[in-house]
Structure 1
């Protein structure tokens, strides 16, 4: 009843107050939870396809074992400028070289992407409504901290708790905090930390080197709640190898695209924690991870092993294609990636 009255006040343009603030926060949490259910996870390249590529191009094997004469490191292409708008198409095809320990991004468009944090470039802050330039800059920086800790921090990637990411989210978003805390401690299909965090099981997988390739952009505009609304859209590429009993030098890549919408409201207008951001949407697409496995970790597929998880039933998709927005109403499912 209280929420209904507050929505009526919203429609009449009534000045926001404390109780209305609480209702707005709950609406944000509801939208975030709805968004995370619309997830499309992609499966790795089938073994048969990978082996067919090698059969047609034996020179792609590390070390040139068949004496084709193509050896030595390739000249690295020039890095791309920062992304400021959605590209008009997917990246061009590149020579399908197999990644190696020495060149984990060989054969990938990500070879031209920025390394790690350098790929998260903040736009120039400007005042928005009642918020100052400094407050807007703070919202952008908090969003950047969340993205870095959730997707690039070595401790998070090896299964650790992303304390910095959790700390920038307004503690008044109790539903969001509760969901993420449960996902990190007791992951299952309805509480999956992969909705927001990139994590590998250190007993099975390790990253190759210390570079994760990053590509994306961040924008901001006036929000609905006397706020600045920040939109982040980034793709992260992780080169990995197996460890433990199945350890080999075979390198594969997992690609994760994340969309994150947050708001920072004016504390003079709303009951919020000053300097903290509220999550209004989080969404993701994952390329090359086993289907329908809900243990809280990414599970890359390798071309020399049998696939795990359930068979893929969705369409084939290019995980490097950033030209289309992630549709919140897209079907939920697991398909096949055209390249990794």
Structure 2
């Protein structure tokens, strides 16, 4: 038996055509909706005024992974089913003294309801400069922003995610290249599959509303023991031992709904040659979900979810895997602003005006927007609080 790998199959992975077509349509829709638009006259006027103010200010001086066991025996799948930490962060009530609130309003009159001083230009999407795509781990948490209250019209007000990318636009794939026995085109396809998983698991409106993430599941290798079984069990009968939130973002549609159709996205995806002549794909993304209760309330809050996911493409000529599918190496997640010790398969965000649900948090206070630290670095798995939402 020759050790030379068989030539890579040229066929497209056996993912249903309707799944690919729906994914392509949804991605195109998101990109088209988020494409840069010509700034309005009001936005241009504000931008020019800010430039002049800035110029005057400057003049004044202001200013654990497992290995395949052997030839054709397949990976030690039982050791590769992934891990995930159940870290949930309840919403932290951070009071603001009246004097500080008055000072903030004085510095930013647009906070006053009705915007009597013409500050509405701040809500113009054209006036918010989007961040460049993330290419490396940040060195610090995002800077503090004005303590604005999110509304139905401005659900990301007061959030560092305001200038993050909208939905799938934030998942920017790296330039593909050949890796081992896999051609450039095959690596590109694997990256697109990883994108499909991330989009369907975290951004698809139906998944967010509790539907089965069929496109995401279709990407995974059915030959990886227990993985699909565990995920299907978590979706059908959620429990602490089988929690779908470790992989999928879901809210109870009877209790809350998304505000608008935008989920803010920030992160990066990379790939490299794996230890077993395969391709390892690493994704690290944070998703910010603005939600409102379905009881007619207009109070908006946000749940922040960070996910780290490692997928692998192996050579089916050498290992017992399904051609064209990806296996899961590791997965980890951290949830900000959701009830503690509730395992019904849904996020349960706390609203400032409502009594918190779930168990009282006992862990440390953290910043859910801080992407500068490795997920779980220096932390235990207790439920803590978040410093901002």
In the alignment, the residues of structure 2 paired with residue 126 and residue 67 of structure 1 have an alpha-carbon distance, to the nearest angstrom, of 52
Pick aligned residue for 2:71 from 17, 23, 48: 17
| Range moving further from structure 2, 97-106 or 74-83 | 74-83
Q: Distance in 2 between matches of 1:130 and 1:223?
A: 12
- Higher RCO (C-alpha under 8 Å, 6+ residues apart): 1
* TM-superposition CA deviations, 1:182-223 (whole Å, max 9, x none): 110000110100000000001000000000000000011111
The equivalent position to 2:324 in structure 1, one of 247, 254, 275, is 275
The answer to whether the 8 Å contact 1:64/1:71 transfers is no
In 2, Cα distance between the equivalents of 1:74 and 1:292?
39
CA 1:176–1:68: 2 relative to 1, 3 Å: same
Which residue does 1:335 correspond to in 2? Answer: 384
Deviation at 1:327, TM superposition (A): 3.6
Give the deviation of 1:66 after TM superposition. 10
Quick check: 1:79 aligned with 2:127?
Answer: no
Task: Name 2:88's counterpart in structure 1.
Answer: 41
**CA–CA distance in 1 between the matches of 2:362 and 2:378?**
18
Q: Secondary structure at the match of 1:74?
A: helix
Structure 1 gap segments, 5+ residues each: 1-9
What's the TM-score, normalizing by structure 2?
A: 0.77
Matched positions, count: 316
Calculate the TM-score normalised by the size of structure 1.
0.87
- Aligned counterpart for 2:174 among listed residues 119, 123, 129: 123
Per the alignment, residue 112 of structure 2 pairs with: 64
1:256 aligns with 2:305: yes
Quick check: 1:321 aligned with 2:365? no
Counterparts in 2 of 1:334 and 1:54: CA distance versus 1, 3 Å: farther
What's the CA shift string for 1:109-149, capped at 9, x where partnerless?
A: 10110000000000011111222112211211111100000
Q: In 2 relative to 1, CA 42–192 (structure 1 residues): closer, same or farther, beyond 3 Å?
A: same
1:226–1:79 distance in 2 versus 1, CA, 3 Å: same
Going from structure 1 to structure 2, the CA distance change for 1:188 and 1:54 (only over 3 Å counts) comes to: farther
Matched with 2:205 is 154
Indicate conservation of the 8 Å contact 1:45/1:303, yes or no: no
Check 1:62–1:292 CA distance in 2 against 1; reply closer, same or farther (3 A cut): farther
Aligned twin of 1:145: 196
Structure 2 CA distance for aligned equivalents of residues 87 and 63 of structure 1? 30
Structure 2, unmatched stretches of 5+, are 1-66
Q: Deviations over 1:16-48 (max 9, x none)?
A: 4222x0x4333212xx0xx21x232111122xx
Q: Deviations over 1:231-264 (max 9, x none)?
A: 00000000000013xx310110100000000100
Q: Tell me, yes or no, if the aligned pair for 1:61 and 1:98 is still in contact at 8 Å.
A: no
User: For residues 336 and 216 of structure 1, do their structure 2 counterparts lie closer, same or farther at Cα, with a shift above 3 Å needed?
Assistant: same
Q: Which residue of 2 aligns with 1:289?
A: 338
Counterpart of 1:300 in structure 2 is 349
Q: Distance in 1 between matches of 2:334 and 2:98?
A: 27
Give 2:315's aligned residue. Answer: 266
Q: Paired residue for 1:113?
A: 164
- Give the direction of change, closer, same or farther, for the CA distance of 1:61–1:294 in structure 2 (3 Å limit): farther
- Any residues of structure 2 matched to 1:100-249 within 5 Å, and which? 100-244=151-295, 247-249=296-298
Instruction: Give 1:333 deviation, angstroms.
Output: 1.1
Distance 1:272 1:81 in 2: 37
Question: Which stretch of structure 1 is more off in the superposition, 194-203 or 60-69?
Answer: 60-69
Q: Check 1:99–1:202 CA distance in 2 against 1; reply closer, same or farther (3 A cut).
A: same
Change (3 A) 1:140 1:106: same
Per the alignment, residue 5 of structure 1 pairs with none
Contact 1:62–1:98 (Cα < 8 Å) also in 2:
no
The aligned counterpart of 1:26 is 78
